[in-house]
Copies of this chain bind each other. A is one copy, B any other.
């Protein structure tokens, strides 16, 4: 499980509240890890009990108070230990692949629309990533350690989206070959 560790990294990059973390998980960190605010609050509570993070009540004006979390020494060493632990590559779960094979027993037309829809989603994500790259890493030669690493991860996301789009084009061509009338 890496949600704890993703939160630790995010809090090391910038301390913040559960709400702020949830928003980050919609943005940069969310490029490669997702979490809802409920999960984040639950895990933060557990991490607080385990002494991995420190909490500080912060009064804000114009907004409700928030609890600002920051990484404690125990959290830092937990992260350090995890970094030394081997993790297995994520197991692949791909609904669309199941659907594609299922077309052998059903009508392809519905799937073509679905594949086109997925392609659009991946194109949108790619554009989103490329915008983020242009905004955050305009001069890749002049980055600090943290930015260099963030950029490497983002390049992974970009490569993933591009690969996906190419493959979906391949799938669409295959489906059309099976059904030349569509």
User: Which A residues are within 8 Å of any B CB, using their own CB?
Assistant: 2, 5-6, 8-9, 12-13, 31-34, 76, 79-80, 82-84, 86-87, 89-106, 110-111, 114, 117-118, 121-122, 145-146, 148-150, 152-153, 155-157, 159-160, 162-163, 166-167, 170-171, 174, 177-178
Contact = CB atoms under 8 A, between A and B. Distances in A.
Contact of A145 (B104, B146, B150): B104
A163 B159 contact: yes
B149 A159 contact: no
How many monomers of this protein are in the complex?
A: 2
Given A98-B2, A103-B149, A149-B174, A33 B93 contact: yes
Contact of A153 (B9, B97, B155): B97
Contacts of A156: 94, 97, 167, 170-171
Contacts of A93: 2, 32-34, 90
B159 A166 contact: yes
B105 A12 contact: yes
Identify which of A12, A79, A106, A162 gathers the most chain B CB atoms within 10 Å of its CB.
A106
Nearest to A113: B86
A171 B145 contact: no
A32 B98 contact: yes
Contact of A149 (B9, B100, B152): B100
Identify which of A34, A92, A114 gathers the most chain B CB atoms within 10 Å of its CB.
A92
